[in-house]
Structure 1
Amino acid sequence: MKGRSYKEQIARRLTLVTALIVMVVFAIIYLVVSFTVVQNIDKELELETQKHVGQIFLENGVIKFMHKDEWQEQEHQQIQLNPIFIEIVDLEGNSMDKSPNLRNNRLKYFPGRGSDEDAWTIKIGDQEVRQKQILLKNKGELEGYLLVATSFEDASELLSKLRLILLVLYPGILISLYLIMLYLAGKSIQPIQKIIHKTNQITQSSLDERVPILDREDEIGQLTRSINELLDRLEQSMIREKQFTSDASHELRTPLSVLRGTLEVLIRKPRTSEQYVEKIQTALTSIDRMSSMIDQLLALARVEKANISPKDEVEIISFVEELADQAKLETGRDVQFIPESSVPIFVHVSEKSLQMILNNLIQNAVKYTQGTVNLVVGKTDREGYILVKDEGPGISQESLSKIFDPFYRDPEVLEKVIPGTGLGLAIVKKLALETGVKISVMSDKEEGSTFRLTF
Structure 2
Amino acid sequence: MGVRGLSGWPLRWRLTGWYLLTLSLILLLFAGFLFWRLQISLRQQQDIAIQLAATEAAALLGPAGNEPTPEMTAQLLANEQFAGYRFMLADATGRITPFPTSATLALSPSALAAGFTTQLAGDDEWRVLAQPLADGWLLVAADLDQINDTLDRLLTLMLLALPPLLLLAGGGGYFLAARALAPIDRITATAATISGTDLTRRIGSTGSMDEVGRLAQTFDRMLDRLQAAFVRENRFIDDAAHELRTPIAVIKGHLEIALEKPRTSEEYVTTMSLLLRTANQLMDLSNQLMYLRRFDPERPVVLDGERIAAPEFIGAILEQVEPLAQQKGQRLVDKVPADLHIQGSLDQLIRLFLILLDNAIKYTPAGGTITVSARRQGSQIHLTVADDGPGIAAEHL
TM-score band by shorter chain is 0.5 to 0.7
CA offset digits 1:85-126 (Å, max 9, x no partner): 3444456x6225344645461254267x53xx4x33221121
**1:398 equivalent in structure 2:** none
- Deviation of 1:160 after TM superposition, in Å, equals 1.1
**What's the counterpart of residue 419 of structure 1?**
347
Which ranges of structure 2 fall in alignment gaps of 5 or more residues? 309-339, 352-378, 381-397
Aligned to 2:9: 4
1:241 aligns with 2:233: yes
Q: Which residue of structure 1 lines up, in the alignment, with residue 38 of structure 2?
A: 33
Offset at 1:156? 0.8
SS class of match (1:128): strand
2:132 counterpart of 1:135: yes
Aligned-partner Cα distance in 2 for 1:264–1:184: 75
CA contact (8 A) 2:130 2:140 kept: yes
1:261 aligns with 2:253: yes
Which deviates the most, 268-277 or 293-302?
293-302
Q: Residue in 2 aligned with 1:84?
A: 85
Aligned pairs for 1:286-301 within 5 A: 286-298=278-290, 301=293
Q: Distance in 1 between matches of 2:237 and 2:56?
A: 107
1:94 aligns with 2:94: yes
- CA deviations on 1:289-330 (whole Å, 9 max, x unpaired) are 2223333444555688xxxxxxxxxxxxxxxxxxxxxxxxxx
Aligned counterpart, 1:140: none
Q: 1:163 & 1:56 partners in 2: Cα distance?
A: 42
- Answer yes or no: is 1:176 the counterpart of 2:168: yes
TM-score (norm 2): 0.64
SS in 2 for 1:295: helix
SS of the residue 2:267 aligns to: helix
Q: Partner residue of 2:20?
A: 15
Asked if the contact 1:109/1:147 (under 8 Å) is kept, the reply is: no
Matched, 1:368 2:306: yes
- Between the aligned partners of 2:29 and 2:350, the Cα distance in structure 1 is 73
State the Cα distance separating 1:163 from its structure 2 match. 0.7
How large is the RMSD of aligned CA atoms in angstroms? 4.1
TM-score, length-normalised on structure 1? 0.56
The amino acid of 2:132's aligned partner reads L
**What letter corresponds to residue 306 of structure 2 in structure 1?**
Y
- Asked whether 1:250 is paired with 2:257, we answer no
Distance 1:414 1:85 in 2: 125
Amino acid at match of 1:179: G
177-186 vs 157-166, greater mean Cα deviation: 177-186
Shift of 1:414: 9.6
Give 1:28-177 correspondences, 5 Å limit.
28-56=33-61, 65-69=66-70, 72-73=73-74, 82-89=83-90, 94-95=94-95, 97-99=97-99, 101-103=102-104, 105-109=106-110, 113-114=113-114, 117=115, 119-137=116-134, 144-177=136-169
Paired amino acid for 2:54: T
> How far 1:146 moved relative to its partner?
3.2
Give the match for residue 337 of structure 2. Answer: none
SS of the counterpart of 2:125?
strand
Quote the offset at 1:277 in angstroms. Answer: 2.2
Regions of 4+ moved over 6 Å: 412-417
Once the two structures are superposed, residues 359-407 of structure 1 have per-residue CA deviations (whole angstroms, 9 ceiling, x without a partner) of x96xx54x5259xxxxxxxxxxxxxxxxxxxxxxxxxxxxxxxxxxxxx
Decide whether the 8 Å contact of 1:57 with 1:66 is kept in 2. no
Separation of aligned partners in 2, 1:20 and 1:421 = 78
1:142-166 CA-to-partner distances (Å, cap 9, x unmatched) read: x544332211111111111211111
Q: Structure 1 residues 293, 207: closer, same or farther in 2, change over 3 A?
A: same
Bigger Rg, structure 1 or 2: 2
C-alpha distance in structure 2 between counterparts of 1:148 and 1:213, whole Å: 75
Q: What one-letter code is carried by the residue in structure 1 that aligns with 2:110?
A: Y
Which runs of no fewer than 5 residues in structure 1 stay unpaired? 138-142, 305-356, 371-411, 424-444, 447-455
Q: 1:295 to 1:206 in 2, by over 3 A?
A: closer
1:24 counterpart letter in structure 2: L
